[in-house]
Structure 1
Amino acid sequence: MLESVEGTHSPSICTPLVGKNHKELLTELADILLKKPDIIEWRLDFYEEIQDMNSVLSAAKDIYENSERTPILLTVRSQKEGGQPISLSEKEVVAILAEVCKHPYVAIIDFEVSNQPDHIRYLREVSKENNKKLVLSYHNFSFTPPKAEIFKSLFLAEFYGADAAKAAVMPQNNQDVLTLLEATREAEKELSIPLITMSMGGLGAISRIVGWMYGSSVTFAVGKSSSAPGQVPIDELRKIIQLTKKVTDPESNPFHQIGSI
């Protein structure tokens, strides 16, 4: 689920669930499950009744009971990091994540590493107490920061005790995509937790396909609706990753045995 790929194994494929209400969520979930994702990310910031804890718990319960044991990742993405506008404060978001953690409905929660340290530490404590995984994430929908800054965000996630570190950035050119991949590769060598990284948009789509070769353990794909620019339909992504593995594996690719031409 959240394991280091060490550059050799296929990444887990996560698909977003972005329904605005209870009915939409279950309809979307049924469509997504046909494509057999490894993880489903419920983007709670899309949910119209996010302020109603009872509604959130009811929806979480139904998603869990209909998920066919697919692990659920719960995310409330902030608007500053690419999420939907919501009227909740960071403290209120923490309260929602903490409450859902106390139930069996989700396996993983996502929280942004730029949030208040006290909130991060509290969610780390609550998630551990309830046997949930914590992903600490960083998103930049405007540009790709320098490699050192991407690495710093991943390092901070490990520093706070996260189970995985995530970084998603927006490229302006091909070099930006390479910057993200290089940061991933260096972080994989230095850090001990799994990484989830991607370059977004059309330019960055290649990182969703080959990111596992640099150390990214999870890639995001479209199940029914996209939650970020550049996501590839899950069926196509799975085929492309398998083809990439085949042609880069010396034992399975006959062209590796021919030598230089």
Structure 2
Amino acid sequence: MKQPVVKLRNIELGSGRPKIAVPITGKTTADILAAVDPIKAAKPDVVEWRIDFYEDVTTAAKLQATGQQLRAALGDIALLTTFRTQGEGGELALSDADYFQVCRDVLAGDFTDALDVERYHAEAAVQEIVAAAHDKSVVVIMSNHDFDKTPAQADIVERLTSMVALGADVAKMAVMPQSVDDVLTLLTATNISREKLSQPVITMSMGDLGKVSRMAGEVFGSCLSFATVGAASAPGQIALDHLRPELEDLKLN
């Protein structure tokens, strides 16, 4: 079966090596923009702006102005914008209504190439923001995170499947392993989802036990790996200058 591919600015998610994303987690506009040059020097494929760290995230005009400055500073690098809610490992607690308002503010700012949309909010609201993103030609990476455990294999596949059913361009799942078997569960679920779904998937097993999942995406079917240039945004992320050669070593001819 031909693997699904999603175009994100100048790259393709789902073809060749897994692409590499690097987070920006600055609290102020100055912090955010100061992170750009070191990241650009490392040449990631994607920058993920974690706006839940940004102090003015709920002020639309400031969010949009900073986003536009970041977009200009990044040049050709694709930008994924993510508000990670506290329940899924993020920095800030927002009501569902406020979460979706922030998502709408991001889209209205016309600065991002992709928007992270968390799966487990009210489905009607999720579908509404997916449609709004697609109206702006913004790629939707739908996500779910379990920082406590690794769900059963069938549950992981079902969650990823439900994301595609809700309109996700890319379905993303991050889980926490308590054992080596948990890592194998995640990798097996990734491979099943890659074979079954009409859209690419991003998966990772977090922490030290799960680091292998961040390197083996090409084999098992995860199209994007999150690395670090400076601060990490999740446990187990590997420095970009280490991850890139590891992905290259594990490439499939």
TM norm structure 2:
0.93
Q: Is the contact made by 1:200 and 1:230 (CA closer than 8 Å) also made in structure 2?
A: yes
Q: Is the contact made by 1:212 and 1:218 (CA closer than 8 Å) also made in structure 2?
A: no
Name the CA distance, whole Å, in 1 between partners of 2:230 and 2:110.
25
1:67 maps to which of 66, 74, 77: 74
Instruction: Name the residue aligned to 1:146.
Output: 152
Shift of residue 138, structure 1, vs aligned partner: 0.8
RMSD: 1.2
1:84 maps to which of 91, 95, 100: 91
1:208 maps to which of 189, 214, 219: 214
Shift of residue 175, structure 1, vs aligned partner: 0.9
Structure 2, unmatched stretches of 5+, are: 1-7
Q: Is the contact made by 2:204 and 2:213 (CA closer than 8 Å) also made in structure 1?
A: yes
Name the CA distance, whole Å, in 2 between partners of 1:169 and 1:199.
5
Instruction: Name the residue aligned to 1:133.
Output: 139
Instruction: Name the residue aligned to 2:5.
Output: none
Is 1:4 aligned to 2:10, yes or no?
no
Q: Any idea what SS the aligned residue of 1:45 has?
A: helix
Name the CA distance, whole Å, in 1 between partners of 2:129 and 2:216.
32
Name the CA distance, whole Å, in 1 between partners of 2:55 and 2:108.
22
Structure 1, unmatched stretches of 5+, are: 250-261
Name the CA distance, whole Å, in 1 between partners of 2:213 and 2:139.
24
Shift of residue 99, structure 1, vs aligned partner: 2.4
Q: For each residue in 1:147-176, what CA deviation from the matched residue of structure 2 results, as whole angstroms up to 9, or x when unmatched?
A: 111111100111001100000000011111
Instruction: Name the residue aligned to 1:119.
Output: 125
Q: Any idea what SS the aligned residue of 1:50 has?
A: coil
Q: Is the contact made by 2:180 and 2:209 (CA closer than 8 Å) also made in structure 1?
A: yes
Q: What is the letter of the counterpart of residue 239 of structure 1?
A: P
Name the CA distance, whole Å, in 2 between partners of 1:73 and 1:91.
21
Q: Any idea what SS the aligned residue of 2:20 has?
A: strand
Q: Any idea what SS the aligned residue of 2:191 has?
A: helix
Instruction: Name the residue aligned to 1:217.
Output: 223
Q: Is the contact made by 2:50 and 2:84 (CA closer than 8 Å) also made in structure 1?
A: yes
1:105 maps to which of 106, 111, 126: 111
Shift of residue 104, structure 1, vs aligned partner: 2.9
Shift of residue 211, structure 1, vs aligned partner: 2.0
Name the CA distance, whole Å, in 2 between partners of 1:213 and 1:78.
31
Q: Any idea what SS the aligned residue of 2:210 has?
A: helix
1:168 maps to which of 171, 174, 190: 174
Q: For each residue in 1:79-134, what CA deviation from the matched residue of structure 2 results, as whole angstroms up to 9, or x when unmatched?
A: 11111133x32211211212221333100000111111111111111011111011
Shift of residue 16, structure 1, vs aligned partner: 0.4
Q: Is the contact made by 2:67 and 2:109 (CA closer than 8 Å) also made in structure 1?
A: no
Name the CA distance, whole Å, in 2 between partners of 1:217 and 1:109.
16
Task: Indicate the percent of aligned positions where both proteins have the same amino acid.
Answer: 34
| Matched positions, count | 243
1:155 maps to which of 161, 167, 180: 161
Ranges of 4+ aligned residues in structure 1 off by more than 3 Å:
none
Q: What is the letter of the counterpart of residue 13 of structure 2?
A: E
Is 1:26 aligned to 2:57, yes or no?
no
Q: What is the letter of the counterpart of residue 167 of structure 2?
A: G
Q: What is the letter of the counterpart of residue 221 of structure 2?
A: G
If you compute each CA radius of gyration, which structure gives the higher value, 1 or 2? 1
TM norm structure 1:
0.90
